[in-house]
Chain A
Amino acid sequence: MQAAVIVFPGSNCDRDVAVALGASMGRPPLMVWHGDSALPAVDLIVIPGGFAYGDYLRAGAIAAHSPVMREVVARARAGAPLLAICNGFQVAAESGLLPGALLPNAGLKFVCRDVYIRTESSGGIFTGHYQRGQVIRLPVAHHAGNYHIDDDGLKALEDNGQVAFRYCTPGGEPGDGANPNGSRDDIAGVYNEAGTVLGLMPHPERLADPRLGGDDGKAMFDSLVAALG
């Protein structure tokens, strides 16, 4: 398996995700600069966290139109697996690869802490090593993670099984301050209709090694390696 991590000016989790993904893959992924219009043939594309282009205009809006994204969007639309974490989720939503949009956090503050999320579906390429309903702990670090989608869009997500993760308490229940940003329906991550693109605000790459205090995120990278070879 080979993967490419897209690097924008302002990306800051590109190396973290390269280390976590590389540990599962057994070799480092390729790093592809945003200004490149050529993207090597890979089995997985990752858009990492950070603040691409300083979040100017809207988080992810400028990055969504950078040269490499034209190719990323074309590949993802053709079925190439894409993992979009945090700022990557914002970029993917702005690119139209994922439904909905990410607004500034309801509390107006940058939120940086561990959260618990419940795995809402399993068996796909991203969550094969998680059980449905499994609660995992991952860090969030964002200012615009407040997932917005209209009523019809929310119903479509539910009907198609496109909700990937929801914020929850350690016991897996909603409420009690579990939602860090005001996201609609506690949504922390969504799939595209085909289940080949995952966008999520929490950072699996930041807790993918017990030496960092936890490895709940590692199963996502292991799932991808198992599914994509």
Chain B
Amino acid sequence: MKARVHITLKPGVLDPQGKAIAQALERLGFDDVNGVRQGKYIEIDLAETDAVKARETVEAMCGRLLANTVIENYAIELAE
């Protein structure tokens, strides 16, 4: 099955790239932007077919490598 992992900076952690994107959007005339936060999206193709086990595995991947939980949160979605 496929795992989709979204990694985002925790609230309060400075995101200068998000700020730069927001400023660029404003320059393009999108004047209703309150804020932008940039994150990462990672797709993982797993041999596992059991969703519970797959989630456990991806949780471990996030905790050990994919996210730095000092500064980042992660969210996992699973799909067939």
Contacts and interface: CB of A to CB of B under 8 A. Distances in A.
B16 A101 contact: no
- Residue from the set A61, A65, A103, A108 with the largest chain B CB neighbour count within 10 Å: A103
A58 B68 contact: yes
A65 B63 CA distance: 13
A108 B14 contact: no
A103 B14 CA distance: 8
A84 B70 CA distance: 19
Interface in B1-34: 13-14, 16-17, 20
B36 interface: no
B14 A148 contact: yes
Tell me what chain B mostly uses at the interface: helix, strand, loop, or mixed.
helix
A182 interface: yes
B16 A61 contact: no
Contacts, number: 34
Contact of B65 (A61, A101, A149, A150): A61
Given A103-B71, A108-B20, A57 B14 contact: no
B62 to A, nearest CB: 12
B66 interface: yes
Contacts of A139: none
A148 B66 contact: no
A107 interface: yes
Q: How large is the interface on B (under 10, 10 to 19, 20 to 34, 35 or more residues)?
A: 10 to 19
Most buried by A among B13, B14, B20, B66: B14
Interface residues of A, number: 19
A150 B71 CA distance: 9
B70 A100 contact: yes
A101 B17 contact: no
B5 to A, nearest CB: 12
Contacts of A57: 65-66
Top 5 A-B pairs ranked by shortest CB distance? A101-B70, A101-B71, A108-B16, A106-B16, A101-B68
Interface of B: 13-14, 16-17, 20, 64-66, 68, 70-71
